[in-house]
Chain A
Amino acid sequence: MAHDHAAHTADHDDHHAGPDTGIKRWLFATNHKDIGTMYLVFSLIMFFIGGAMAMIIRAELFKPGLQLVQPEFFNQMTTMHALVMIFGAVMPAFVGLANWMVPMQVGAPDMALPRMNNLSFWILPFAFTILLSTLFVPGGAPAGGWTMYPPLFLQGGNYVAMAIFAVHLMGASSIMGSINVIVTIMNMRAPGMTLLKMPLFCWSWLITAYLLILVMPVLAGAVTMLLTDHYFGTSFFNAAGGGDPVMFEHVFWFFGHPEVYIMILPAFGIISEILPTFSRKPLFGATSMIYAIASIAFLSFIVWGHHMFVDGMPVAAQVFFMMSTMLIAVPTGVKVFNWTATMWRGSLSFEPPMLFAISFLFLFTIGGFSGVMLALVPVDFQYNQTYFVVAHFHYVLVPGAIFAIMGGVYYWIPKWTGNMYSMTLAKWHFWLSTIFVNVLFFPQHFLGLAGMPRRIPDYAVQFADWNMVSSIGGFGFGLSQILFVIVVIQCARGGKKASAEVWDGATPTGLEWTLPSPAPYHSFSVAPDIK
């Protein structure tokens, strides 16, 4: 056995020494860092494509009347913006961070299944090529909302098959990525790294990965039923054939609500890494933080009905879904309180990752408040399908998920590149983003309460003022993100050398900080000692 192993290593020595050169390094990548980088670059590109769509939406809504696009194209933009941002920007960014950080945090040389890792990434560019190319086919891109509700979604042309196939591919990619994370965490932890000693980021991803494996097949099933309804004459959701359009909503949201947590749990993990470092104090109640994530994950499976209160639901179901939804506020509250307690009596410094984490703490909590309000059935009847909902989920996704991702990048990128970045530019990026994100989304609460439905290209004149403010915030937020690209590119190309611990003077904990900066190509070729 030992001899075989030695021979095996010798055969592949060239692969083990370092990366291939040129395009082969990326096409045939099996290294977790290379794949992580590709995920993150892909996600950034998608963030700007989805962002460009958002700019078209905000430009059209800048004032009443249609100035720029036809309503049909507007609907394509809202639909594609959501699909691109959810499946193209937020989820791949988290997978990219997991690829980079999970092996380093558990003391492993690489991910457990490197070739599957390669496949799960390389599916994505194809999936999004198919999805984005619907913009150029007859009938245009999907325009029925990212939720793909029939019968509206099935009124489409060629996009139906293309979008569904793209969703299938994204699901396959996510499932493979999740399997990889789970297997890595379960099998490749360094000796002595018990599960409860594992960093919160790994914990949040472990739970997220299970969520993904459980719900992605549900989405695949839902869209496959759409496919057969459209092309093969089935009537799953066709009322005329005895089908049930509301059943699609149930199946979709059984996927959709856990999906919401798939997009926020890894963010919780990142915040739980950043706050202790720059508070110079261990995370408060780390074990209860893990239990809180697990409870949120469990609850996410029994709350889907709250997306459908107005669709006609028995009273008992309304009460059940209201209660279960409100219950989520309890573990989420525990998390917010524990984060606050982490900062309490700490010694805080305000480097860019910390700034993003603090902003997350405030603004995600605002999204949480509107979430509790939305959970209450009677008032949900007024909020549902208005801009209040848009404001709510953008607060949890933009200053929530995306700020956590950016904070995570600012936190770990010196470890990846070996260089420090421009703190001044990064702080400019932070302040502009935080100010504009509020100008962008806060007025949307007012619009929704005042009665503006979502997903409309044009609106009554009483909504004009807040829409203009929101659009100005949107343009400002969009432009500010260019700074992020500049900071990241500068950091990749050079700069002041980062030390192994990177954040000297703060207290970063975790195995990744025991590696030199930049981290070696095969993170831990010898398992580290865990005390």
Chain B
Amino acid sequence: MRVIRAIAAALAAICLIDTAAANTSNGYNLPIGVTSLSENMYALHMEVFWICVGIAVVVFGAMIYSLVKFRHSQGAVPDTSMVHSTKVEIIWTIIPVIILVVMAVPAADLILKQEDTRNSELSIRVTGYQWKWQYQYMDAAAGVDFFSTLKQDSNFARQLHSGIDPSAVPNYLLDVDKPLVIPSGTKIRLLLTSMDVIHAWWVPDFGAKRSVVPGFVNELWFKVDSGKEGIYRGQCAALCGRDHGFMPVVVDVRTPDDFKKWVEEQKTASKQAAAPAAVPPPTAQSLN
């Protein structure tokens, strides 16, 4: 059944029938995503893809033509005088250079945009651990600080011989106990570092991926368009040991108002959690 579905998907991929503007990946192509960066990346990706298809049609066309037309079995006579031509060789050196420049210029432009982390409205410190993420908010949400790990049901199902069907687990391996919550329409800057080995924080729909390296603070920014609130999922993208496959990234994008409410809830909750500790309960000794 899966194989049949896969073949159907392959046909769709070949014909590129499925051009519906999906924000998330359609299963065989990059997602368009929900940030201007991911949209630009998708556009560049498709541009380069079609350039490659164009070159492939010409080059493979020439090869296939040769394979069909110049067969020994069909009595083809080789033109052994055709050994060298400076003119054509210069042409097929220059043309690729031009094509590469056409690709490189918008790419270089996009690099500048990607690296511009100035004027961010909310900074969050992301720390990688084997095998979970810590999110520490700064700016207006300062004080919110929590860990995000693989959700229990996925964790049970992913054990060897667990006997649990992964497709019965909602968002198998892509769900966490506590997602990163961010406001939409806000330029978010992540400051990423690691406490142990190299990880990589990645949400494909944001076009946001960056290595998380011990001893370094890397930066990354993205701004989710208003109206694109929802849950977005990614994974650790750098081999980080045994449970590398089991440290997903989940981001819950809310409207700025909902985000403010959420921050208040978090602060109240942490105060309540801290309150009993402020007045320690009487111990056996103090009662004496």
The chain A residues found within 8 Å of chain B, CB to CB, are 64-72, 75, 143-145, 149, 151-152, 155, 239-240, 243-246, 279-288, 310-312, 315, 318-319, 322-323, 326-327, 329-330, 333-334, 336-338, 340-341, 343-349, 358, 361-362, 365-366, 369, 372-373, 376-379, 381-382, 384-386, 443, 445-446, 449-451, 453-462, 464-466, 468-469, 472, 505
| A469: chain B residues within 8 A (beta carbon) | 3, 6, 10
Q: Is the CB of A149 within 8 A of B158?
A: no
User: Can you list 18 pairs linking A and B with CB atoms under 8 Å apart?
Assistant: A151-B198, A245-B214, A280-B80, A285-B89, A322-B104, A333-B96, A344-B62, A345-B70, A365-B56, A372-B100, A377-B110, A377-B111, A381-B209, A382-B38, A382-B204, A384-B237, A446-B13, A461-B172
B104 with A323: CB separation less than 8 A: yes
Please encode chain B, from 88 to 116, with 1 for each CB lying within 8 Å of some chain A CB and 0 for all others. Answer: 11001100110010011001101110110
Among residues of B, the one whose C-beta sits closest to the C-beta of A472 is B3
User: Is the contact region of chain A dominated by helix, strand, or loop, or is it mixed?
Assistant: helix
Contact status B25-A449, CB under 8 Å: yes
Chain A residue contacts of B198, Cβ below 8 A? 149, 151-152, 245, 311
When C-beta atoms are compared, the residue in chain A nearest to B174 turns out to be A460
For B110, the chain A residues whose CB sits under 8 A away are 377-378
B271 interface residue, CB < 8 Å from A?
no
**A460 contact set on B, CB distance < 8 A:** 171-174
Pair A378/B107 contact, Cβ less than 8 Å: yes
Are B66 and A318 in touch, CB under 8 angstroms? no
Asked whether, in the complex, the Cβ of A310 is within 8 Å of the Cβ of B173, the reply is no
Which chain B residues lie closer than 8 Å to A280 at the CB level?
A: 72, 78, 80
- Interface assignment of B280: CB less than 8 Å from any CB of chain A: no
B144 within 8 A of A: no
Across the interface, name the chain B residue whose C-beta is closest to A345. B79
CB distance from B286 to the nearest CB of A (A): 41
Residues of B contacting A362 with CB < 8 Å? 60, 63
Taking a contact as CB atoms under 8 Å apart, the answer to whether A144 and B239 are in contact is: yes
Is the C-beta of B30 less than 8 angstroms from some C-beta in chain A? yes
Question: Which residue, of A358, A361, A451, has the highest number of chain B Cβ atoms within 10 A?
Answer: A451
Nearest Cβ on chain A to B247's Cβ, whole angstroms: 10
A338 touches B80 (CB 8 A): no
Please tell me if the beta carbons of B159 and A71 are within 8 angstroms of each other in the complex: no
Cβ B214 vs Cβ A315 within 8 A = no
Asked whether, in the complex, the Cβ of A446 is within 8 Å of the Cβ of B29, the reply is yes
Are A343 and B6 CB-contacts (below 8 A) given A65-B166, A315-B115?
Answer: no
Task: Tell which of A319, A348, A454 touches B66, judged by Cβ atoms closer than 8 Å.
Answer: A348
Q: A281-B80, A343-B70 are in contact. Are A310 and B100 (CB under 8 A)?
A: no
* B197 in complex: contacting residue of A155, A310, A326, CB < 8 Å: A155
A155, A377, A453 pick with most chain B CB within 10 angstroms:
A453
List the A side residues contacting B202 at CB < 8 Å: 385, 453
Is B76 in contact with chain A by the CB < 8 A criterion? yes
Residues of A within 8 A of B141 (CB): none
Assess whether A244 is in contact with B210, with CB atoms less than 8 Å apart: no
List of B residues within 8 angstroms of A459 by Cβ: 173, 245
Task: Given A379-B41, A386-B237, decide whether A347 and B70 contact each other with a Cβ distance below 8 A.
Answer: yes
- Please provide the chain B residues from 22 to 57 with a CB less than 8 Å away from any CB of chain A in the complex: 25-31, 38, 40-41, 44-45, 48-49, 52, 55-56
How far, in Å, is A57 (CB) from chain B's closest CB? 13
Q: How far is the CA of A343 from the CA of B165 in the complex (A)?
A: 53
Q: How far is the CA of A288 from the CA of B198 in the complex (A)?
A: 43
The reply to whether A376 and B76 form a contact with Cβ atoms under 8 Å apart is no
- B59 an interface residue at 8 Å Cβ cutoff? yes
Provide the B198-225 mask, 1 if CB < 8 A to any CB of A, else 0. 1010101001111101111011000000
**Contact A72 B84, beta carbon cutoff 8 Å:** no
B5 CB within 8 Å of chain A:
yes
A-facing residues in B139-177 (Cβ within 8 Å): 157-162, 164-167, 171-174
Which listed residue (A345, A346, A373, A446) contacts B52, Cβ 8 A? Answer: A373
* Chain B minimum-CB-distance residue to A315: B115
**Docked CA distance A322–B31 (Å):** 23
**Which single member of B40, B197, B243 contacts A152 (CB below 8 Å)?**
B197
Category for how many chain B residues contact A: 35 or more
User: B214, A151: Cβ atoms under 8 Å?
Assistant: yes
Question: Is B181 positioned at the interface, with any CB of A under 8 Å from its CB?
Answer: no
Complex CA gap A445/B29 in Å reads 8
* B252 close to A (CB within 8 Å): no
B235 interface neighbour in A145, A453, A462, Cβ under 8 Å: A453
For the complex, give the distance between the alpha carbons of A287 and B83 in Å: 10
Question: Are A288 and B89 in contact (CB-based, < 8 A)?
Answer: yes
Residue B240 at the chain A interface, CB threshold 8 Å: yes
Q: Kindly provide the distance from the CB of B126 to the nearest chain A CB, expressed in whole angstroms.
A: 13
Is residue B288 contacting chain A, with contact meaning CB distance below 8 A? no
Inter-chain CA distance A279–B111, complex, in Å, is: 45
CA distance in complex: A160, B268 (Å): 48
Contact for B30 among A319, A382, A505, CB less than 8 A: A382
Q: Would you give the shortest CB distance from A409 to chain B, in whole angstroms?
A: 23
- Judged by a CB distance under 8 angstroms, whether B82 is at the interface is yes
Contact for B111 among A69, A75, A319, A344, CB less than 8 A: A319
- Contact A75–B244 (Cβ < 8 Å): yes
A446 touching B100, Cβ below 8 Å = no
Q: CA of A346 to CA of B103 in the docked complex: distance in angstroms?
A: 34
* Known A245-B214, A340-B62; further 4 A-B contacts with Cβ < 8 A: A345-B78, A451-B25, A468-B2, A469-B10
Q: How far, in whole Å, are A243 and B56 apart by their CA atoms in the complex?
A: 46
Q: Which 6 A-B pairs have the closest CB atoms?
A: A239-B215, A456-B245, A446-B28, A465-B6, A378-B110, A349-B72
**Distance, CA A282 to CA B110, complexed state (A):** 45
Task: Determine which of B82, B210, B239 lies in contact with A75 in the assembled complex, contact meaning CB atoms within 8 Å.
Answer: B239
The yes or no answer to B122 lying at the interface (CB within 8 A) is: no
Closest to B107 in A: A376
Would you give the shortest CB distance from A221 to chain B, in whole angstroms?
A: 20
Task: Take A65-B158, A239-B214, A329-B96 as given contacts and tell me if A341 and B88 are in contact as well, using a CB distance cutoff of 8 Å.
Answer: yes
Instruction: State A346–B76 Cα separation when bound (angstroms).
Output: 7
Q: Are B71 and A246 in contact (CB under 8 A)?
A: no
Partner of A451, one of B41, B158, B234: B234
* Chain B nearest Cβ from A403, distance in angstroms: 15
Cβ A464 vs Cβ B25 within 8 A: no
Partner of A348, one of B72, B85, B246: B72
State whether A329 and B213 are in contact (beta carbons under 8 Å apart), knowing that A348-B70, A382-B41, A385-B237 are contacts in the complex.
no
- Report Cα–Cα, A451/B25, bound state, in Å: 8
Q: In this assembly, does B17 line the interface, its C-beta being within 8 Å of a C-beta of chain A?
A: no
Whether the Cβ atoms of A468 and B6 lie closer than 8 Å is yes
Q: Is the CB–CB distance between B92 and A334 below 8 Å?
A: yes
Which B residue sits closest to A316, measured CB to CB?
Answer: B111
Determine the chain B residues whose CB is within 8 A of the CB of A322 once the complex forms.
Answer: 104, 107-108, 111
Do residues B207 and A382 form an inter-chain contact, with CB atoms below 8 A? yes
B209 to chain A: which residues have CB within 8 Å? Answer: 310, 381-382, 384-385
Given contacts A310-B200, A348-B72, A461-B166, contact A453 B172 (CB under 8 A): no
Chain A positions within 8 Å of B244 at CB level: 71, 75, 453, 455-456
